[in-house]
Amino acid sequence: MRFRNSVLVLLFFLFSQVTAQTPAVSLLSRKAPKQFRAVFRTTKGDFVLEAYRSWSPLGVDRLYQLIVSGYYNNSLVFRVEPKYVVQFGIAEKYETKKFWYERYIPDEPVMQKHTRGMVAFARDKKNSRSTQLFVDMTDNPKLDTTVRDGVKGFTPVAKVISGMEVVARFYAKYGKQPGAQQIDLYRRGNAYYEQLFPGLDKILSAKIIP
């Protein structure tokens, strides 16, 4: 009986851990404030972004949902091109990745220019914005108008208002190479990926600033 109780306790613990890492579906209907700030604590220091719902209502809602659910905590900064962009947004936990997988949001028109410090969702096809973000490391006017799969530009959702010097210090040895192998990060997780690309920085946590 003691052994059986121990097993039940262990099963309950494991189930509670999975549940804690998996957001409720109701989160997907949560709306962001008209404007908010969030602090991203990283292995190189902190940076703060400010989001504006008028720029991209669906995109800013998604950004807010991801931050309040802890999605970005312990996620790797897997693409660092100092003269182009920095990219991150693949969750550490399998259950979290599974929940958000293919929960795409529709594309929206580009309302702001891609100047240094702007933040936008990455995408690879029409209506494929999901969780990955990139930060412009320089003025990138081509991202305002480039057409991919019939969609014009990448829609900014926020801008970094402090800490760009932190973003500029992210480990850049590998450039865009880790991004080209991000399927390994999805499938096998941080530990495996960090063996392939030692030294990558992390987003330790992201939180809304009250």
pLDDT tens by residue, 163-196: 999 999 999 999 999 999 999 999 999 999 999 9
pLDDT at 78 over 70: yes
Q: Looking at the domain assignment, is residue 189 inside a domain?
A: yes
Q: Looking at the domain assignment, is residue 43 inside a domain?
A: yes
Q: Looking at the domain assignment, is residue 140 inside a domain?
A: no
Q: Looking at the domain assignment, is residue 144 inside a domain?
A: no
As to burial, measured by CB atoms within 10 angstroms (0-12 exposed, 13-18 middle, 19+ buried), residue 120 is buried
CATH code of residue 181 = 2.40.100.10
The predicted model gives 87-111 an average pLDDT of 93
pLDDT of 6 reads 39
Give the Cα separation of 70 and 49 in Å (integer). 16
Q: What is the pTM of this model?
A: 0.89
Q: Which of 188, 104, 112 is nearest to 144 (CA)?
A: 112
Q: Looking at the domain assignment, is residue 110 inside a domain?
A: no
pLDDT of 102 reads 84
Going by C-beta distance under 8 Å and a sequence separation of 6 or more, which residues neighbour residue 15?
none
As to burial, measured by CB atoms within 10 angstroms (0-12 exposed, 13-18 middle, 19+ buried), residue 106 is exposed
Where is pLDDT greater, at 96 or 15? 96
The number of beta carbons lying within 10 Å of the beta carbon of residue 103 is: 12
Q: Which two tokens stand for residue 83?
A: 């003269």
Helix (H, G, I), strand (E, B) or coil at 16: helix
The number of beta carbons lying within 10 Å of the beta carbon of residue 177 is: 12
Q: Do 162 and 140 form a contact (C-beta atoms < 8 A)?
A: no
Q: Looking at the domain assignment, is residue 54 inside a domain?
A: yes
Q: Which of 128, 131, 130 is nearest to 150 (CA)?
A: 128
Q: How does residue 7 score in pLDDT terms, banded at 50, 70 and 90?
A: very low
pLDDT tens by residue, 125-162: 999 999 999 999 999 999 999 998 899 999 999 999 99
Q: Looking at the domain assignment, is residue 111 inside a domain?
A: no
Q: Looking at the domain assignment, is residue 11 inside a domain?
A: no
Q: Do 68 and 208 form a contact (C-beta atoms < 8 A)?
A: yes
DSSP letter string over 71-98? TTTTEEEEEE-TTSEEEE---SSHHHHH
The domain total for the chain is 1
Q: Which domain holds residue 53?
A: 32-105+158-208
pLDDT tens by residue, 19-75: 446 788 999 999 999 999 999 999 999 999 999 999 999 999 999 999 999 999 999
Looking up tokens 């209502």 gives: 57
pLDDT of 21 reads 61
